[in-house]
Amino acid sequence: MADNKNKAPRGKKPVKFTLNISWLYILLFIGIAWMFFNQGGANPQKEEWAEVKEQWLAGDIKEVVFIRNEFEGRVTMKPDRIEKYADKFGNNIPAKSPHFIFLVSGSFNAEEMFGELNEQLPADEQVKVVIESQESWWSILEWLVFPILLIFMWVFMFRGMNRNMGGGSGGPGGIFNVGKAPGKLAEKDSIKVTFKDVAGLYGAKDEVMEIVDFLKNPTKYTALGGKIPKGALLVGPPGTGKTLLAKAVAGEANVPFFSISGSDFVEMFVGVGASRVRDLFRQAKEKSPCIVFIDEIDAVGRARSKNGGFSSNDERENTLNQLLTEMDGFGTNSGVIILAATNRADILDKALMRAGRFDRQIHVELPDLKEREEVFQVHLRGLKLAEDFDLEFLAKHTPGFSGADIANVCNEAALTAARHDKKAIDKQDFLDAVDRIIGGLERKSKIITPAEKKSIAHHEAGHATVSWLLPNANPLFKVTIVPRGQALGAAWYLPEERQLVTKDQMMDEMCSLIGGRVAEEIVNGQPSTGALNDLERLTRMAYGMVTYYGMSEKIGNISFYDSTGSRGYELTKPYSEKTAELIDKEVKDLIEMIHDRTEKILKDNFEGFTALAELLLEKEVIFADDLERIFGPRAGAPKGEVIPKDPEELAPEPELQTESTE
């Protein structure tokens, strides 16, 4: 019963005051403000005693306060006389007193001097005199407030660093044990992610399943003399599910899972990175069998510089050396497997990639059609969908989308449906979501002159006409002149999922890119700034054909592409100045040839091109069936191709032909 008396009543929680850094900032601000405003009033002007004497005898002074121990006098003027001395204050008369101060020597007799001056004035104009001594400790304390607050601030910052720095695996961190690995430890029972939560990624899942089997049944392999792989590197574009796959491995194997980012090893203090690597692997050995996952390993595993004095980072390289040592120092039966993820495998150090460290490279690619269906199924679990929702249609019309992109599409579709007060999410909501993610929000209120709108229509009609008439260009499905994002107009394509691209396909794509610029030249007689994005992509493709893919007859089958990144610090180009001039000439000739070819296509089909532009001006948005009515079936279209005839059958691809306003 005695214990119950000491307990707080139910429903009432004791008020707990917590002094955090915000309170310190408030106190610091108050201290600075107090010091600023508590300096004896308004900024008094210094005067000589002779000047004060003249003001005294003129009857302008109201009060004089003399500080005996500081030999300082503080003069307050009469309100009706202060205007006489405005020039001494820069015509900015202070609102507070004292107005003037004067200093005297130690032999100054204040009582006698002030009494003589007052005797010379009438009784009603005599100056009030106050003579006092001021304790010096107060002024000292006044100026100690600011340093004391700074000391308190430093102490709190130190405590914050002690709480937040280097506390790997839930252990106590601090500035003095900053070398502790900050990685997070997930115990085997807390990991709920399995391969069922990872949609698609068939090839990658098959490879990591072997790692799971290694952890579950190690004797199965060691009995035959085999060695368990020490590490696997997950390589792929951003958003493809590399981190999720690593978590699924730990969940399936039912082992502890250490996760840390590559940037967590990099610190401003020398030697911290190497210390954190040692601590991480020490913790992993204690928890074995386990998985250590290093995300974005390129932050610490970048290839070391060949020139130690130029563009080098000794701290990062020391961290990498320690990582190499730890990965190669495990015994064969340690039960610790290293998983790492990166989208820049080309810049990793070769020593990190060798067998014995990362024995395997697992490529996690963008999902194909079937895999996209599975990814959509995962992200659609919690959404209310319309009864006639077609999952296959959506997967077919989202090529090049990663898992993260698909998750974003699903969420945006839900928001779009909610914005229109719908009870369920239909196909159009998903199409609107894709449009918004790719091109941005429609800006129908943007002011565009009739002449500009006509020019935009001809520009987009040029893109559409050329891409429709060339057999190897990406199929076009939608053209709009409604401003969206930074684009004044756009053409949506649905590219084929190709693994290889031929020279003819690249040239047709280049003709489609420059179609808008050429259309402007034909109709308006001069180009505009609207083709900036088109020209940028065109130039990049032309240089790629000449310098990377060996598609130039004069240059030959030569590629200057550096896939290893070994030339990253070289100041010279891997070719001579003569070759550089030849490359520039080849690129220019190629683009001129593309320009002339595109111009011929548009002039030969000028009537259809003009009709398409007028239709765009009328409807603002047209679809593939409109082009089929004007030009006939699409060049190179497979037999039985279904041409979308309304917005609900349309889906754009992630790469847009956009016009820049620059």
Q: How many whole angstroms separate alpha carbon 99 and alpha carbon 298? A: 66
- What are 336's strand-pairing partners? 290
Alpha-helix residue ranges (DSSP H) falling in 7-127 = 21-37, 49-57, 110-119
Q: Scanning the structure block, which residue is given the tokens 């290839």?
A: 303
Q: Say how many CA atoms lie within 13 Å of 399 toward its Cβ.
A: 14
Q: Scanning the structure block, which residue is given the tokens 């101060």?
A: 101
Alpha-helix residue ranges (DSSP H) falling in 525-605 = 532-543, 577-604
- Contact between 91 and 101 under an 8 Å Cβ cutoff? The reply is no
* Short-list 347, 342, 323, CA closest to 230: 323
Residue by residue, what is the 3-state secondary structure of 161-221?
HHHHCCCHHHCCCCHHHCCCCCCEEECHHHCCCCHHHCCCCHHHHHHHHHHHHHHHCCHHH
**Cβ partners under 8 Å of residue 495, min gap 6:** 399, 400, 474, 475, 653, 655
* Short-list 431, 439, 432, CA closest to 390: 431
**Cβ partners under 8 Å of residue 493, min gap 6:** 467, 474, 475, 476, 477, 652, 653, 655, 657
Q: How many whole angstroms separate alpha carbon 551 and alpha carbon 537? A: 17
Q: Say how many CA atoms lie within 13 Å of 98 toward its Cβ.
A: 22
Angle made by CA atoms 327, 303, 549, in degrees to the nearest 5: 125
Range list of β-strands (E), 208-329: 231-235, 257-261, 290-295
Q: How many whole angstroms separate alpha carbon 111 and alpha carbon 128? A: 12
For residue 596, the one-letter residue type is D
For residue 577, the one-letter residue type is E
User: What are φ and ψ of residue 157, in 5° steps?
Assistant: -60, -40
> Which tokens is 182 given?
């900050």
Give catalytic status of residue 460 as yes or no: yes
The residue annotated as part of the active site, out of 315, 460, 599, 653, is: 460
| Residue 409: burial class (beta carbons within 10 Å; 0-12, 13-18, 19+) | buried
Q: Rounded to the nearest 10 degrees, how much is the dihedral formed by the CA atoms of 396, 400, 403, 404?
A: -120
* Short-list 457, 496, 453, CA closest to 473: 496
Q: How many whole angstroms separate alpha carbon 184 and alpha carbon 118? A: 81
C-alpha pair distances (Å), 522 with each of 304, 508, 527, 588, 657: 53, 20, 9, 21, 19
Q: Which residues are catalytic?
A: 460
